[in-house]
Chains A and B, each alone.
Chain A
Amino acid sequence: MIDCKHNTELLSQSYDRPITLRERIAMRMHLMMCRGCRNFEKQLTFLRKAARELPRKL
């Protein structure tokens, strides 16, 4: 079972490279049991959205 530190690394990398099936399963397993990482995942999605809207908003 991966820990939060490793899980956040994988979540972040899923925005930068294709994630393997094994990694995806490990992340899902962790997320099922960890509310902190679930919040982190949502916030990562938000960060990307915000960053990509920035040129229109500044």
Chain B
Amino acid sequence: MSDIDPEELQGHRSHLIRYAMLQLRDPNLAEDVVQETLVAAIESRAKFAAQSSPRTWLVGILKHKIIDLLRKRAREPQLNVAEGEDENELVDALFKENGHWADPPQTWNAPEQSLENAHFWNVFEQCNQRMPLNTARAFMMREFMEMSTDEICQELGISTTNCWVILHRARLALRECLDMNWFGNAR
């Protein structure tokens, strides 16, 4: 049976750190979960060797480690995310008094091609980092971790309605940020 090449694992490391940072925004915590992920990978190296896409497999382990960590932290009240990260300002700026778009969304040019562009992913990452922590975290649980809304509410200790509101704001914010910084509809 072949051992994991340490260099190969290292090759995945920076990628995993970037991914963990998006969710945790704390270099030390990100370092910890990635370390645990790599250890877990080494412990089940037979499985690692059998992967057609080791990176996807590693990200799968990492997701579970991140969820475990967030769960643990949710139980420690002092680490709870502050209530009232107020993003109503954004919604107020996007819509007029009468509920119509202040500035209706324009068409995005060839969005599919953007997915193949490394620079697009940098912008996407930055747009995520610009969101308030609680908002970004809920969005990532939903879209990257593919958790159900019920699970997310539970983890974050918020009501279902609040969860929908937060996810909606996240999408509005992300859309706006990509619109201005990538699709070139700067105003």
A interface with B by C-beta (< 8 Å): 3-6, 8-9, 12-13, 15-17, 34-37, 39-40, 42-44, 46-58
Interface pick from B39-47, B69-77, B79-87, B107-115: B107-115
Query: Complex: how many Å from CA A1 to CA B18?
Result: 44
> Known: A3-B98, A4-B95, A16-B149. Is A44-B164 also a contact (CB below 8 A)?
no
- Contact B105–A12 (Cβ < 8 Å): no
The 9 closest A-B pairs by CB, nearest first: A36-B104, A3-B99, A51-B143, A12-B168, A39-B105, A5-B99, A55-B59, A5-B95, A36-B101
**B130 contacts the other chain (Cβ, under 8 Å)?**
no
Say how far B133's CB is from chain A's closest CB, in angstroms: 17
Interface pick from B1-9, B26-34, B170-178: B170-178
Query: Complex: how many Å from CA A37 to CA B142?
Result: 22
Interface secondary structure of A, over-half rule: helix
* 14 intermolecular pairs with C-beta atoms under 8 Å apart: A3-B95, A4-B100, A8-B172, A16-B142, A17-B149, A36-B105, A37-B105, A43-B108, A44-B171, A44-B175, A46-B111, A47-B171, A47-B175, A55-B19
- Contact B107–A39 (Cβ < 8 Å): yes
CB-CB under 8 A from B115, the residues of chain A are 49-50, 53, 57
Known: A4-B101, A5-B99, A42-B108. 15 other contacts (CB 8 A): A4-B104, A9-B164, A12-B168, A16-B164, A17-B164, A35-B104, A37-B104, A37-B105, A39-B106, A43-B111, A50-B115, A51-B139, A52-B143, A56-B59, A58-B19
